[in-house]
């Protein structure tokens, strides 16, 4: 049975939805002894995981671009290569993936359900509402989705060819990713989603 938490209210009310859930959690507070060692809130774990992975990736990319230029940094935009993602995953029995409806690496292509989530996030952004998170529970696993937005740094490899993407970078990308769909972005656009999965306790 699927349990789409964000279906409980319209996307535009996501923030309130989260707050309502927090209040409900507070109402069902455990006995004082149990409260002394509260289990980490799974949402906070998932969000921390996505944020740390994003920060680690951004830092690595920036350092590589600074040292060697964007064409040489291309091989560093791969989440799986990040030790931080591994260590956090081990600590929490979690997995993290990046998905998108315009993939560069085909392995990151959103499945129909993920594409639906991305469509909802895009709709919400078009209404100038930044969705903070989305959650789906299924078969004992909870999936958390967090938007990945572009900034100026990204455009060196995801912007317009011949403009932000230099011919050298364009050629390297074409060689490695002949079916690349991840060019032509502007700043502050939805590029994809972090998908964090956590086993339910
Ligand atoms: C130096 C070039 C470079 C820069 C800068 C860069 N990327 Fe990428 N990006 C890539 C490459 C190469 C891949 C494919 C990685 C792989 O094979 O897994 C990729 C993949 C991705 C993916 C996974 C989905 C897909 O299309 O395969 C996302 C999401 C993404 N990048 C977002 C960003 C964002 C957001 C930024 C800026 C913060 C950024 N990238 C900056 C080169 C870059």
Q: What is the rounded end-to-end Cα distance, in angstroms, of the chain?
A: 17
| H/E element, 45 | helix 42-68
> What pLDDT shows up at residue 129?
78
d(CA 115, CA 111): 6
- pLDDT, residue 43, reads 86
What is the rounded (10 degree) CA torsion for 44, 22, 141, 3? -140
Q: Is the CB of 147 under 6 A from ligand 1?
A: no
Q: pLDDT digit of tens for each residue in the chain (201 aa)?
A: 455 554 333 343 344 344 444 444 444 555 555 456 566 788 888 898 899 889 888 888 999 999 999 999 998 877 766 676 777 677 777 889 999 999 999 999 999 999 999 999 999 988 887 666 677 888 888 999 999 999 999 999 999 999 999 999 999 999 999 999 999 999 999 999 999 998 876
- Residue 74 CA to residue 78 CA, distance in Å, equals 9
- Strands of 22-161 (E only): list them: 94-99, 134-138, 141-149
Using most ligand atoms within 8 A of CB, pick from 157, 184, 186 the residue to mutate for ligand 1: 157
Q: What integer pLDDT is reported at residue 45 of this predicted model? A: 85
Q: Which pTM does this prediction carry?
A: 0.83
Q: What are phi and psi of 160, to 5 degrees?
A: -85, 130
What pLDDT is stored for residue 17 in this prediction? 42
Ligand 1: centre distance to CA 103 (Å): 9
- Those residues with Cβ within 8 angstroms of residue 189's Cβ, 6 or more apart along the chain or in another chain: 149, 150
- Please state, in angstroms and rounded to a whole number, the distance separating the CA atoms of residues 12 and 14: 6
Structure token digits, residue 188: 């502050």
Q: Which atom of ligand 1 is nearest to the CA of 105?
A: 27
Measured from the CB, is residue 150 less than 6 Å from ligand 1?
yes
Give the number of C-alpha atoms closer than 13 A to the C-alpha of residue 20, restricted to the C-beta side. 9
What's the pLDDT at 186? 97
């Amino acid at each position: 049975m699927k349990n789409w938490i964000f279906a409980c209210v319209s996307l535009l009310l996501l923030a309130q939805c989260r707050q309502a859930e927090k209040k409900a959690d507070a109402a069902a507070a455990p006995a004082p002894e149990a409260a002394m060692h509260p289990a980490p809130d799974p949402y906070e774990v998932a969000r921390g995981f996505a944020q740390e992975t994003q920060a680690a990736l951004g830092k690595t990319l920036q350092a590589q671009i600074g040292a060697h230029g964007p064409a040489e940094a291309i091989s560093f935009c791969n989440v799986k290569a990040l030790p931080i993602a591994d260590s956090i995953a081990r600590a929490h029995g979690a997995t993290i993936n990046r998905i998108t409806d315009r993939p560069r690496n085909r392995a990151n292509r959103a499945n129909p359900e993920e594409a639906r989530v991305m469509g909802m996030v895009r709709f919400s952004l078009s209404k100038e509402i930044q969705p903070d998170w989305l959650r789906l529970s299924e078969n004992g696993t909870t999936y958390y989705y967090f938007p990945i937005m572009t900034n100026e740094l990204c455009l060196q490899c995801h912007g317009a060819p011949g403009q932000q993407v230099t011919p050298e970078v364009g050629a390297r990308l074409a060689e490695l990713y002949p079916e690349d769909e991840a060019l032509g972005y502007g700043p502050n656009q939805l590029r994809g989603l972090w998908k964090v999965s956590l086993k339910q306790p």
